[in-house]
Amino acid sequence: MNLKDDVAIITGAASGIGQAIAVQLSQQGVHTVLVDINSCEETISMLAHESYLECLGDIRDEKFVQATVNRTIGKYGEVHILVNNAGTASRKDLETMTLEDWDRDLNTNLKAAFLFTQACVYPHMKDAGYGRIINISSVSGLNGGVTSGDEGKGRSGPAYAASKGGVIALTKWVAKELGPYGITCNSVAPGATATAITAGVPYDTSQQVIKRMGHPHDIAGAVLYFASRDSSYTTAQVLKVDGGISIG
């Protein structure tokens, strides 16, 4: 997929979808920058080669974001791919949600994507005339929250849905802005996927065309296309990887 020796920053790389993305990119010869608030030791043990950089900290902190990009440029000289994957998901409803819950999801899911996009593009991707930005959103950002469990219990909350809807809007805005500079921006919108965020929450997959939970590698496969040079004529797209639950 023409990814060998590219440099990719992946947020939320310690586990789940971010881990799968980092591993699959590494298998394609990509130098991976693993960003998380938790240790990425497990992910590192799974990489296809030893060219990686681990950056641990709070992705909502502008200084940490800039330091991460600076470390990436310092080691590799450039950055080709940014995957804004890290996220949180409150399941409280509108009545019980607190401002703290709201801020956590909005800042982790949307603010951090803005911060990393800005830091990678200006000046690095723009000066290089090349870049691939992939934002992990959710079908919740399209339909107002995926219902799960009995009587709708377990539905992702309003902050999560709003933040992922914001990620989709940001994706389209950035795509329009940066297309002339050879930079594409796309989003992958997972449906119910087996990660720590969904652990312990029952999902009824009987209404899906593909009647199972998604796996992190399903999402990573979609990211690989958007990260590659094969996607050079594809931008501002939201690819639903959801087992067909969003059909009509």
User: What residues are labeled active site?
Assistant: 160
Measure Cα distances from 150 to 93, 138, 147, 173 in Å: 15, 21, 9, 37
Angle made by CA atoms 237, 121, 50, in degrees to the nearest 5: 90
Task: Compute the radius of gyration of the chain from its Cα atoms.
Answer: 17
Residue type, 239: L
Going by the DSSP 8-state scheme, the letter that residue 111 receives in this structure is I
Positive or negative, the CA dihedral 152, 157, 163, 166 is positive
**What is the 3-state secondary structure of 36-102?**
ECCCCHHHHHHCCCCCEEEEECCCCCHHHHHHHHHHHHHHHCCCCEEEECCCCCCCCCCCCCCHHHH
Which residues fall within 8 angstroms of residue 50, CB to CB, at 6 or more apart?
none
Residues contacting residue 129 through CB under 8 Å, at least 6 positions apart = 181, 182
Within the chain, residue ranges assigned H as helices are 16-27, 41-46, 62-76, 99-106, 112-120, 126-128, 140-143, 158-178, 216-227
Instruction: Identify which of 83, 79, 84 has the alpha carbon closest to the alpha carbon of residue 125.
Output: 79
